[in-house]
Every structure is written in structure tokens, then in C-alpha cells.
């Protein structure tokens, strides 16, 4: 880790609430009380007393105002009590993300927090989960930064989108070979994906994953995104209430993907930032940790069916060695677990000293029938709007079962044609796109890490992914998830969005993820806003530190 992390802060009493949060709740309660008194007075006297306060409001509007204010209070109380921080910003929904995503702010829409009598219990649960996780992603889209039209809007360093090579990908997608309309592209496709695309995905993955033999197109299934692929795998591999293991911190939207339809739980294998005798690097995943978590879950009566890994890891940026991958796969085989490896960041390894090893490159997999790989173009090619994700599995029964989800989650034929042509152009990918993409990622990563060094902010120095995992514990006093949420709100007030550790299920408060794959003018402005928040936070801490001396 660059700038070695300080000793871990001990989380404070969860019952502690910040004065600022209390003030906001009290203010909302005051507004609500006033509105209720005025409304009751109006109903009892028959006079339109609220018109003086809010001209033009009728009884319906007044009731809507009360409901609106009640929703604000409920949302505040929920977020403060539960410390809810998730944010599905990653566009894999990432968003994620990427990729749900990393931020939460009280919403002004009461419908996101109040139970609807028009929905089933399940519908209410889904709606609450969605709005809790996505509320600020929605806010971002309503107030998005634009250099000319909205220079004070939100800049998003939370959603994992690669915006560094939009010029290259736009030019390639504008060429004549992309603009083909055929009858077959306008009809319903094979639910597994058009054969021409599955064949090209198999060839592409054979080459870039360095597979020892040509991959079989019959083992490829194409859906509209990597998260739908994970969701489909959860459905066909697990019964409701069963579970997958996954190292934490991890991409928070996985929770949404596995629980929305399949009702599959993710059991967290918590990783520590502190370096110890058994933890030779920050957030190190070991078989001992996997085994300990598995056995603990089994003692609690949990039925664990698989292990979910991301390589390169999100949000840490770790790239697993071949030996580590084999150890994880052998562990899974011992306990008859499926292994799902998300390799969506496969082509985003920009550090030449870092070598990526795909699971597909392993000649003798410990348990090939239970090993499944997910890959897509959203991150490395910066085309998350295409909504493309692919499964490769040696298990034809799994491929067949997942194929049925193409009925709901297929991609348009025209998009499949464009993706096929893009993946076929190996010369352009190898000689133009990847070299420039990696160079721009290096420059952006250097810029943001130089800023972090100036501020003496510890971070994980990795050479893969579109993000950097940073330690802001020194700005939290006390170091709690409540304070993490308050710092997030300060970033939101300055119109910069970042990912919180809470969203990524990190067990230690104070960690954040910053996405740096942003065009330089926006990245610079976002970091200016970011630094301003931290400077203000530090100034407020200084008087408190002086009083303690």
C-alpha cells in the first residue's frame, strides 16, 4: 500500500449520532409539525390558511406536502439508524458501478420509503431495496455535469465507466461495416445469442484469456449484461435461501443480482487491511479465510453452493496470481462448490509489470464442470450502454439452463452484429485501442494518485481496473460508518460522487473507491471539489483536536 495505513480506528458506539444529523432530523420534524398544525387548522375552520403560506395549494397538494415531508423524516431516520450507504452506480447494473453503487442521501420522494398498498410484500421489498441503493444514481442523472449546460452538476467518480477512449470507440462504431441491417437481425434471436456472436466471443476469449485450446461456442451464452448472467447463474445453481461465498470488500451490486430473483445470500469472507503474520498484504484473500467462513456458515445451517470471485478485483484492483487461483479452485472442489469468476476487467490491466491470469488459461481445472466465467465489454471498451455480458462454462447443462434467460434478457440483433464486428477487428484492438487505452489509464491513474500523495492519503497501488481504493480514516472522528456517511454527504454537497466502503461491504469504516477513468477536465474539477471537502473537514477537526489536548 502506498502511504502505509494508520492503525485501524476502532468503530465507536453505533448509538452515537452526529450533531449535524440530529439537526437535520429536527429541522425536518419541525417543518412536518408546522405543516400538520396548519393542515388541521384548515380542516377545522374551513379556511384555506395554507394558501397564505403556499399560494395555490389545494387540499390534495397539502396532503402531498405532508406525505412528502413524512417521507423525508422516515428516510433520514432509516439512513441514520441503519447506516445505509450502498449505491448502485456501476453501469453493469457496476453500476453498479461499478455498477447498485456507493452513495446514499435522504430522498425527497416519499414514495421511495413509504409502503405501497398497490404492491405485494415482495414488490415493496424490491422497491425499497432499489430506491435505497439507487436514489443518488437517479439524483446524478437529474443533475449531471455538463461543461456548458450544467457546469455545477454532479461529477460521478463512483460509477465504473471508462470515458477515456470514447473518441476511439465512437470512430470504430461509425465505420461502414457496422451499419448493416439484415432480416435476421430484426427477428427474435437464438436465446443463447446469435451463433455468429457466440462464435466470435469464443474466439476472442480463446485469444485474450490465453486458453490452452479453442473454446467451444456451444458453451457461450450471451445476455444483456454481466449482472444478468450472475443473476441467472444464481437461479440455476441454487435454491432460494442458499448462499455463495464472496470476499469482502466486493462489488455491492452483486447483492442485488443474486437476491432480486434468486433469493440467494452472499456470505462475506471479510478481508483486513492490516498487515500481520498471516496477512502479508492488505486485504489478502487466503484459503484459510475461505474455509473458516464456510465452516462458520455451515454451523449456522447455511447451505453454501459456490464461490464468487472478481479478477481483477473490484474495488481493490488486485490481480490474482495463477497459483492463488488454483488454490481457490481446489478449495472449492474439496467442498463441492461452484466457482463463478467475473473477469470483466480482464483488458484493463494497464501496468506492464502486472500479469493477468484468466481461469480459462488453466490447462487442468480442478473441477471444470463447476467453473464458470463471466466477461463483458462494458468496462474495458467503455460501451456499457450496449448491455452485453457473456458466460463461458464447460458445463453444457448450466449453459442450457442459463440460455432460457435470454427470453427476458437478450440483446437486440443489431447490437449483436456491431459487437461481433468489434471483437473481430483484432488488428484495431491490438494496435490501436488497447495501447492507447492502457496509456490513458496510466496517465489518469498517475494524476489521481499524485493528488492523493499530496494529501498524504493512503491508497492501494494497483495496476488494474478503472478505480483506486483509498483510506480516508483520518478525516473521520470517530472512525465509524456514521461518520463515513456524513463525509459522503459533504462530497455530495460539493457535487462530486464517490464510492463508500460501506457499499462494497468493507468491514472497516473509512475506505472509499474513486474511479479515475474520466476525461481530464472533469477529473480535475472533481478532484478540486474532492480536495475542498477534505480541507473543510480537516479545518473543522482542528478545533476539536485542540480542545482534547
Per residue in 400-439, pLDDT (tens digit) is: 999 999 999 999 999 999 999 999 999 999 999 999 999 9
Burial of 13 (0-12, 13-18, 19+ CB in 10 A): exposed
| Domain 83-161+435-548 in CATH 3.90.1150.10 | yes
What is the arithmetic mean of pLDDT over 259-288?
94
The count of C-alpha atoms lying within 13 angstroms of the C-alpha of 89, restricted to the half-sphere facing its C-beta, is 30
- 49 has a pLDDT exceeding 70: no
Sign of CA dihedral 466, 90, 531, 487: negative
What is the arithmetic mean of pLDDT over 6-29?
45
pLDDT single digits (tens) 211-232: 999 999 999 999 999 999 999 9
Q: Which residues, in sequence order, are CB contacts of 317 under 8 Å at separation 6+?
A: 460, 462, 463, 464, 465, 467, 468, 469
Burial of 2 (0-12, 13-18, 19+ CB in 10 A): middle
Q: Where in the chain is the domain with CATH 3.90.1150.10?
A: 83-161+435-548
Q: Which residue has the higher pLDDT, 77 or 382?
A: 382
pTM of the model: 0.81
pLDDT single digits (tens) 135-194: 778 889 999 999 999 999 999 999 999 999 999 999 999 999 999 899 999 999 999 999
Do 87 and 501 form a contact (C-beta atoms < 8 A)?
A: no
Q: Which residues, in sequence order, are CB contacts of 457 under 8 Å at separation 6+?
A: 3, 470, 471, 472
Q: What are phi and psi of 70, to 5 degrees?
A: -60, -40
- 45 has a pLDDT exceeding 60: no
| Domain 180-424 in CATH 3.40.640.10 | yes
Angle of CA points 88, 90, 91, to nearest 5° = 115
- According to the model, what pLDDT value does residue 108 have? 39
Strand partners, 393: 372
Q: Where in the chain is the domain with CATH 3.40.640.10?
A: 180-424
273-277, 385-389, 504-508 — which is least confidently predicted? 273-277
* Helix residue ranges, H only, 184-225: 195-208
pLDDT single digits (tens) 530-546: 999 999 999 887 766 55
What is the arithmetic mean of pLDDT over 20-34?
59
- 46 has a pLDDT exceeding 60: no
CA dihedral 500, 535, 138, 228 (to 10 degrees): -30
444/438 Cα distance (integer angstroms): 10
What is the arithmetic mean of pLDDT over 51-74?
53
Q: Terminus-to-terminus CA distance in the chain, angstroms?
A: 31
- According to the model, what pLDDT value does residue 69 have? 59
Amino acid at each position: 500500500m502506498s502511504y502505509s495505513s494508520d492503525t485501524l480506528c476502532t468503530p465507536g458506539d453505533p448509538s452515537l449520532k452526529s450533531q449535524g444529523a440530529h439537526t437535520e432530523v429536527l429541522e425536518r420534524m419541525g417543518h412536518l409539525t408546522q405543516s400538520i398544525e396548519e393542515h388541521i387548522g384548515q380542516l377545522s375552520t374551513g379556511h384555506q390558511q395554507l394558501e397564505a403560506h403556499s399560494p395555490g395549494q389545494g387540499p390534495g397538494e397539502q396532503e402531498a406536502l405532508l406525505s412528502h415531508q413524512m417521507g423525508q423524516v422516515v428516510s433520514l431516520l432509516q439512513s441514520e439508524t441503519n447506516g445505509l450507504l450502498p449505491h448502485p452506480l456501476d453501469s453493469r447494473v457496476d453500476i453498479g458501478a461499478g455498477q447498485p453503487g456507493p452513495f446514499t442521501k435522504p430522498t425527497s420522494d416519499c414514495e421511495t420509503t413509504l409502503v405501497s398498498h398497490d404492491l405485494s410484500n415482495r414488490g415493496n421489498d424490491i422497491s425499497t431495496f432499489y430506491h435505497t441503493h439507487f436514489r443518488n444514481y437517479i439524483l446524478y442523472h437529474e443533475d449531471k455535469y455538463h461543461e456548458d449546460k450544467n457546469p455545477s452538476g454532479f461529477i460521478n467518480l463512483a460509477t465504473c465507466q471508462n470515458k477515456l477512449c470514447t473518441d476511439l470507440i465512437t470512430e470504430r462504431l461509425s465505420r461502414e461495416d457496422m451499419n448493416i441491417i439484415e432480416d435476421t437481425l430484426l427477428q427474435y434471436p437464438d436465446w443463447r445469442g446469435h451463433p455468429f456472436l457466440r462464435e466470435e466471443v469464443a474466439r476472442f476469449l480463446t485469444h485474450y484469456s490465453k486458453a490452452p485450446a479453442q473454446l467451444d461456442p456451444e458453451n457461450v451464452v450471451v445476455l444483456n449484461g454481466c449482472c444478468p448472467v450472475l443473476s441467472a447463474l444464481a437461479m440455476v445453481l441454487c435454491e432460494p435461501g442458499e448462499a455463495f461465498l464472496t470476499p469482502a470488500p466486493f462489488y455491492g451490486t452483486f447483492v442485488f443480482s443474486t437476491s432480486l430473483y434468486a433469493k440467494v445470500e452472499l456470505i462475506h469472507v471479510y478481508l483486513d487491511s492490516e498487515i500481520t503474520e498471516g496477512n502479508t498484504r492488505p486485504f489478502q484473500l487466503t484459503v484459510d479465510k475461505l474455509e473458516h467462513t464456510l465452516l462458520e456458515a455451515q454451523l449456522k445451517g447455511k447451505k453454501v453452493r459456490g464461490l464468487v470471485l472478481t479478477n481483477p478485483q473490484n474495488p481493490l484492483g488486485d490481480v490474482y496470481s495463477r497459483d492463488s487461483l488454483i488454490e481457490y479452485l481446489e478449495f472449492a472442489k474439496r467442498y463441492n462448490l461452484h466457482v463463478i469468476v467475473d473477469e470483466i476487467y480482464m483488458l484493463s490491466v494497464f501496468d506492464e509489470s502486472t500479469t493477468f491470469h484468466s481461469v480459462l488459461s488453466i490447462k487442468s481445472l480442478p473441477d471444470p464442470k463447476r467453473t464458470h466465467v463471466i466477461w463483458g465489454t462494458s468496462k474495458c471498451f467503455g460501451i456499457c450502454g450496449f448491455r452485453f455480458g457473456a458466460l463461458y462454462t464447460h458445463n453444457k447443462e448450466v449453459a442450457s439452463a442459463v440460455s432460457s434467460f435470454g427470453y427476458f434478457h437478450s440483446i437486440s440483433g443489431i447490437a449483436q452484429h456491431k459487437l461481433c464486428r468489434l471483437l473481430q477487428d483484432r488488428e484495431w484492438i491490438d494496435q490501436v485501442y488497447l495501447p492507447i487505452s492502457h496509456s490513458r489509464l496510466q496517465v489518469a491513474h498517475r494524476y489521481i494518485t499524485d493528488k492523493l500523495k499530496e494529501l498524504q492519503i493512503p491508497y492501494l497501488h494497483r495496476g488494474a481496473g478503472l478505480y483506486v481504493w483509498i483510506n480516508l480514516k483520518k478525516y473521520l472522528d470517530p472512525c465509524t460508518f456514521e461518520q463515513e456517511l456524513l463525509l459522503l454527504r459533504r462530497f455530495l454537497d460539493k457535487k462530486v460522487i464517490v464510492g463508500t466502503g460501506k457499499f462494497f461491504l468493507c468491514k472497516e469504516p473509512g475506505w472509499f473507491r474513486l474511479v479515475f477513468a474520466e476525461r481530464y477536465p472533469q477529473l480535475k474539477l472533481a478532484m478540486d471539489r474532492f480536495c475542498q471537502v477534505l480541507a473543510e473537514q480537516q479545518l473543522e477537526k482542528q478545533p476539536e483536536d485542540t480542545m482534547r489536548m
